[in-house]
Amino acid sequence: MIFKKCLFVLPILGLVACSSLPEAPIDAYSLSDMRVLQQQRQWYFEGRLALTDDRDSISASVSWRHNPGRDDIELAGPLAQGKLIISVGPDVVVVDDGDKRQEFRGAVDEVLAEQLGVNMPVNAFTYWVLGGVDPEQAFVEQGDGFVQAGWRVSFKEMQRVNTLLLPRKINAVKDKTIIKLIVDQWDLS
């Protein structure tokens, strides 16, 4: 009888012991750890983007390819509705919605704000998505991120890609504008 009770109690003790084991450490954001990624000349990611301000809110899947001198950003609404391709080169922004292709001259951030009504710091984001700061602007480091150009950028979750630690969840907040980016897949080649 005691033997049967022990057979019943041992698995329960095993479950209790397993539940008290510490979880594997989660890699946390560190700006100094991200500096190595700033040497990355080209990259690509796929993910999801949400942008909210006092006028509107946008949710889209995003594919972003960065090469020296050119960024191609593809946004698609839910169920691939409303695809928009934004190509950014030196002082030129091309916006293609499938029906109409428009070319604009000027800084990308200003063009997008004026033409699309979107307050998104694209130039700075090319650094922020890799966990770094825009080297052309002052910043203040804070626990899980930094403040730069009036934006509070925080890295809510990191992910391992091969041997590198890269951002997975990024929030950027300035005044009433909130940008949330979740990176599902990275390619650094």
Residues 136 and 134: their CA atoms lie apart, in Å, by 5
Give the start-to-end residue ranges of the domains of the chain.
Answer: 2-187
- Yes or no: say if 179 and 50 are a contact pair by the CB < 8 Å rule: yes
pLDDT digits (tens, 9 = 90+) for 43-59: 999 999 999 988 888 89
pLDDT digits (tens, 9 = 90+) for 94-130: 999 889 999 999 888 888 888 777 788 999 999 999 9
H or E, element range at 15:
helix 2-19
* Residue 39 pLDDT > 90: no
Q: How confident is the model at residue 26 (pLDDT cuts 50, 70, 90)?
A: low
pLDDT, residue 80, reads 61
Please name the fold of domain 2-187.
Answer: outer membrane lipoprotein receptor (LolB), chain A (2.50.20)
Residue 88, both tokens? 């950014």
Query: How much is the pTM?
Result: 0.82
Residue-averaged pLDDT of the chain: 85
Q: Where are the alpha helices (DSSP H) in 37-154?
A: 108-115, 122-128
